[in-house]
Amino acid sequence: MKHIMLSSSQYATTLPTFFHSTVSPQQAPNPKLVALNEPLAKALGLDIAWLRSPEGLAFLCQGKTATNTPVAMAYAGHQFGHFVPSLGDGRALLAGDCTTCDGHSVEIHIKGAGLTPFSRGGDGKNTLGPALREYLVSEAMAALNIPTTRALAVLTTGEMVERDQGAVPGAILVRTARSHIRVGHFQYAAAHGGIDYVRTLADFTIQRLYPSLTTHRPERFLEFFKEVVSRHAKLTAQWMGVGFIHGVMNTDNCALSGETLDYGPCAFMDKFDPMKHFSFIDQQGRYAYGRQPAMALWNLSRLAECLFPLFHPDEDKAIALAEDALHGFDPQFHRQWLLIFRQKLGLETEDEHDIRLLEHILETMHTGSADFTNSFRALGSTQSALHGDYRAVRELFPTNKGHFDLCRTELLHRLTQETRSPIKRQTAMNSVNPLIIPRNHRIEEVISHALQEDYRPFLRLHSALQSPFALTEAESAASAELDPLTAPPTAEQEVQHTFCGT
């Protein structure tokens, strides 16, 4: 029986060695499986019993079978605005490609398998806290229907790894993506190879991620770029809709597939604050919640700088086309943002003043110290959405209840234009406003238990995050049990900073 259908990645077999280096991953001294995403493994046609066997664990740690050659990818990147010409997979390797049941090819990537030619000063290792964080948050994003890399497994390696806080357990995260190609890949091609390498990479990316554009027409490169712009406009709006802060939107963490990539110091916001940022290394708030659309556009501008010579033989015309495509970002982002936030309020019709209503509500959340997730969810409660009684929601705006009353009046007035029945409206709201998100203080808590080898809180949180919307009566009743997971942090529980864990 074939235990795993894994081929060398298309990335490694199609692209020249300029873009990758073969690696010899180290075997972990004593690998132990902490989490295996069985639904994902099944969707990839992987044999679960084998994955749990010693050979399966060795595969999950090293990404090596008889049929594939793991590689480390080469890429550059702007980190916090500063260009680093050579980054690459310093603690990760691209094992190969798997085909999903519905025929998509996905990459298997192993983070923490040891040194690669791109490790620079690092040790190539990953640790348990960041691996569990990525597992929880990326799977929560998938359950929230947001494009993302997926987490297949977390293992401890059996060795301790030195970090700032002392020796911590080494770990491996196995993840999947349609592709791990980042904006930084194009920057690498442009910086070290020139336009022929950029073209080769663009054609490969088009063929893998945008196959409907696979033609020999010269316009394909501009069409491809416009598609990437669209995907990121939509992705960023989706992040905003759930209060997600990526935390490290460097160009090396910006995927051409439009999947959320690299869960380092990411976090979900509790109290609404447009300038909220958590990452310890982001002291200036470059990647704050409200700056994410501007930063996505900044990253796409860096991509445009690499691609534009392919848009037209005349340089001025090529630059004008690139600018025009970049100008498409703002209107697309705003359209998506409005669509998402109208849905969050349960609005089916469109009114030209909706943006003002939404801005007023968000502003009041900010001044009222309201929890972003719980306030939107409460607007869809039976009490408010069916009986028009907003007293419980008002309590969620402790420092500006007066303004909340004004918002409520505006909202009730706006709802008179809606024709949908209140019950349908409530169901629609509850299908987009999550009850449960991976709150920072809960993540930290489950990690601290996991460091004591108690994985039960981690598994419980992970399982709750799989049904973030809890739509049925039974689920809502069960949600009472989830209360500690849905509650915002108290002042003492509030997490001030998140860390990359590198």
Interface residues with Mg ion (CB under 5 A) are 253, 262
Between 31 and 264, name the residue whose CB sits nearer to Mg ion. Answer: 264
Query: Least distance to ligand AMP from the beta carbon of 20, Å?
Result: 13
Rg (CA), the chain: 23
Between 171 and 228, name the residue whose CB sits nearer to ligand AMP. Answer: 171
Residue 89 touches which of ligand AMP, Mg ion, none (Cβ within 5-8 Å per kind): ligand AMP
Query: Least distance to ligand AMP from the beta carbon of 28, Å?
Result: 15
Query: Least distance to Mg ion from the beta carbon of 253, Å?
Result: 5
Residue 124 touches which of Mg ion, ligand AMP, none (Cβ within 5-8 Å per kind): ligand AMP
Between 203 and 262, name the residue whose CB sits nearer to Mg ion. Answer: 262
Query: Least distance to ligand AMP from the beta carbon of 290, Å?
Result: 22
Distance CA 157, CA 135 (A): 16
Residue 490 DSSP class = P
Query: Out of 253, 257, 384, 426, which residue is the one contacting ligand AMP (CB under 6 A)?
Result: 253
- The verdict on 187 binding ligand AMP (CB under 6 A) reads no
Between 171 and 240, name the residue whose CB sits nearer to ligand AMP. Answer: 171
Distance CA 359, CA 240 (A): 13
Residue 65 DSSP class = -
CA 218 to the chain's CA centroid:
32
Are residues 214 and 207 in contact, defined by beta-carbon separation less than 8 angstroms?
Answer: yes
Residue nearest to Mg ion (CB): 262
Binding mask 261-300 for ligand AMP (x = CB under 6 A): -x-x------------------------------------
Going by C-alpha positions, the residue among 99, 1, 116, 106 that lies closest to residue 45 is 99
User: DSSP for 333-361?
Assistant: HHHHHHHHHHHHHT--S--TTHHHHHHHH
Distance CA 428, CA 432 (A): 7
Going by C-alpha positions, the residue among 471, 464, 384 that lies closest to residue 428 is 471
Between 247 and 380, name the residue whose CB sits nearer to Mg ion. Answer: 247
**18 C-beta neighbours (distance < 10 Å), count:** 14
Going by C-alpha positions, the residue among 445, 458, 478 that lies closest to residue 34 is 458
Residue 109 touches which of Mg ion, ligand AMP, none (Cβ within 5-8 Å per kind): none
3-state secondary structure of 129: helix
Residue 259 touches which of Mg ion, ligand AMP, none (Cβ within 5-8 Å per kind): none
Distance CA 291, CA 457 (A): 33
Are residues 96 and 6 in contact, defined by beta-carbon separation less than 8 angstroms?
Answer: yes
Residue 139 touches which of ligand AMP, Mg ion, none (Cβ within 5-8 Å per kind): none
Query: Least distance to ligand AMP from the beta carbon of 196, Å?
Result: 24
Query: Least distance to ligand AMP from the beta carbon of 260, Å?
Result: 13
3-state secondary structure of 55: helix
Residue nearest to ligand AMP (CB): 122
**370 C-beta neighbours (distance < 10 Å), count:** 28
Q: ∠ CA 397-399-404 to the nearest 5 degrees?
A: 45
Residue 322 corresponds to which tokens in the numbers above? 């690139």
Residue 111 touches which of ligand AMP, Mg ion, none (Cβ within 5-8 Å per kind): none
Between 68 and 253, name the residue whose CB sits nearer to ligand AMP. Answer: 253
Between 221 and 287, name the residue whose CB sits nearer to Mg ion. Answer: 287
Are residues 462 and 142 in contact, defined by beta-carbon separation less than 8 angstroms?
Answer: no
Q: Where do the H-state alpha helices sit in 91-219?
A: 128-143, 183-192, 195-209
Helix crossing, 440-451 with 456-465: angle to 10°? Answer: 150
Q: Where do the H-state alpha helices sit in 144-285?
A: 183-192, 195-209, 220-242
Residue 285 touches which of ligand AMP, Mg ion, none (Cβ within 5-8 Å per kind): none
3-state secondary structure of 20: strand
Between 147 and 264, name the residue whose CB sits nearer to ligand AMP. Answer: 264
Binding mask 222-251 for ligand AMP (x = CB under 6 A): --------------------------x---
Query: Least distance to Mg ion from the beta carbon of 247, Å?
Result: 11
In the range 80-139, which residues lie near ligand AMP by CB under 6 A?
87-91, 119, 122-125
Query: Least distance to ligand AMP from the beta carbon of 124, Å?
Result: 5
Residue 123 touches which of ligand AMP, Mg ion, none (Cβ within 5-8 Å per kind): ligand AMP
Catalytic residue numbers read 252
Chain residues that interact with ligand AMP, rule: CB under 6 A = 87-91, 119, 122-125, 248, 252-253, 262, 264, 500, 502
